[in-house]
Amino acid sequence: GAVVSQHPSWVICKSGTSVKIECRSLDFQATTMFWYRQFPKQSLMLMATSNEGSKATYEQGVEKDKFLINHASLTLSTLTVTSAHPEDSSFYICSAREGGTDTQYFGPGTRLTVL
């Protein structure tokens, strides 16, 4: 139980294009989903928190117009990196939490490379 998937697992795109990453909870309803970014040999940095049907809450320093988050259903959240640039290249990981519980379950991550 508590499986979270991400798609795609890796993506390469040209500078200036937009990329959408999907995060799905496969066997539970995720009232809250989180998006993290991880640089090599560093820990996870929380980018934003989203509750189903509500606008995402972004962490300080994260550009909300650049990283668009949608949590339209209890099993799906999407992160769109708009007008991507090489500095956006990173490992993006989502997590999901079922209502009434504390534990976040993580997806396998998406490696984004912007050329």
Partner 1 sequence: EDQVTQSPEALRLQEGESSSLNCSYTVSGLRGLFWYRQDPGKGPEFLFTLYSAGEEKEKERLKATLTKKESFLHITAPKPEDSATYLCAVQTSGGYNKLIFGAGTRLAVHP
Pair type for strands 110-114 and 10-13: parallel
Q: Based on CB atoms, which residue is closest to partner 1, 43 or 87?
A: 43
Residues of this chain that bind partner 1 (CB under 8 A): 2, 4, 6, 32, 34, 42-44, 46, 49, 57, 91, 93, 95, 97, 102-109, 111
Quote the least distance from Cβ 115 to partner 1, whole Å. Answer: 20
Distance CA 62, CA 73 (A): 23
- DSSP labels, 26-61: SSS-EEEEEEEEE-TT--EEEEEEEETTS--EEPTT
Q: How far is the CB of 83 from partner 1 (least distance, A)?
A: 26
In the three-class reduction of DSSP (H, G, I as helix; E, B as strand; rest coil), residue 82 is classed as coil
Our CB check for partner 1 shows the closer of 62 and 82 to be 62
Measured from the CB atom, the residue of 46 and 115 that comes closer to partner 1 is: 46
Q: How far is the CB of 16 from partner 1 (least distance, A)?
A: 27
**Least distance CB 99 / partner 1 (angstroms):** 10
Residue 63: which residues within 8 A CB-CB, separation 6 or more? Answer: none
